[in-house]
Amino acid sequence: MVKIRILCIALLLCNIFSFGQSNLDSTRKIRAIQKKVILAQLNVREETGNNDGYQIDLYRVSVAKWLNAMKPKPAWCACFYYFLFYSIDVKLTVRSARAREYFSDKLGSYNPNLRIERPPEFGWPVGYKFGKNAEIRHIGSVYEWNPDPKVTMCRILEGNTSSSGVTGVDRDGDGVYIKWRPKSAIYRCTPLNRLKTNGK
């Protein structure tokens, strides 16, 4: 965990001084920086399997400090998504521990399986729901999405998920992993430019 903390701090300082705040508006540069952050967070695990651990607490703190005072500690998939941008000083219009908040109609969210002409891109949030009439309860970040409709699988970066299997949606796992998911499992996605406060 100490190595992870040191690496995250070093990456953040390097990002600020190398690129500068004004350059963070570049989608290409954000993508390059964020991939370094992802590598630093990949395979982070909960300490006891109860939504706990130093790094997990940092994810929640990026959204709100009081989340860590809750008993039992709450799920953290949405906090992890927010942390990916918070850690590189990119502000989002949504700052929430609830996955569904990242997929409102006012943000231009849509079902990518119904609009195949506009495939999700790297960094876009994707939401899953459980049951026909349920709300979105789990969120991931697009890591790789082949726009070819013949390709049925995609790679999604997720927190609070598990390392095994591709079927179903793991909304209460033990760590951070890049998962292969059926595209059909994705219920909603949101264009990243609608989430960034600068709108670019």
Q: Which residues pair with 156 in a beta bridge?
A: 142, 179
Q: Which residues pair with 196 in a beta bridge?
A: 92
Task: Mark 67-105 as b/e (b = at least 16 C-beta within 10 Å).
Answer: bbeeeebebbbbbbbbbbbbbbebebebebbbbbbbbee
The HSE-up count of residue 109 (CA atoms within 13 Å, CB side) is: 21
Residue 180 identity (one-letter amino acid): W
Show the DSSP H helices in 24-76 as ranges.
Answer: 27-41, 54-61
Give the pTM.
Answer: 0.83
Measured distance CA(7)–CA(11) in Å, rounded = 6
- Model confidence at 134, pLDDT cuts 50, 70, 90, reads confident
Containing 13, the helix (H) or strand (E) segment is helix 2-23
- Of 8-12, 50-54, 85-89, 175-179, where does mean pLDDT reach its minimum? 8-12
Q: Is the Cα torsion angle 56, 161, 164, 145 positive or negative in sign?
A: negative
- Model confidence at 169, pLDDT cuts 50, 70, 90, reads low
Q: What is the pLDDT of residue 32?
A: 82
**What are the structural domain ranges in the chain?**
2-86, 99-194
Mean pLDDT for the chain? 84
Q: Which residues pair with 139 in a beta bridge?
A: 127
Q: Which residues pair with 162 in a beta bridge?
A: none
Chain centroid to Cα 132, Å, comes to 23
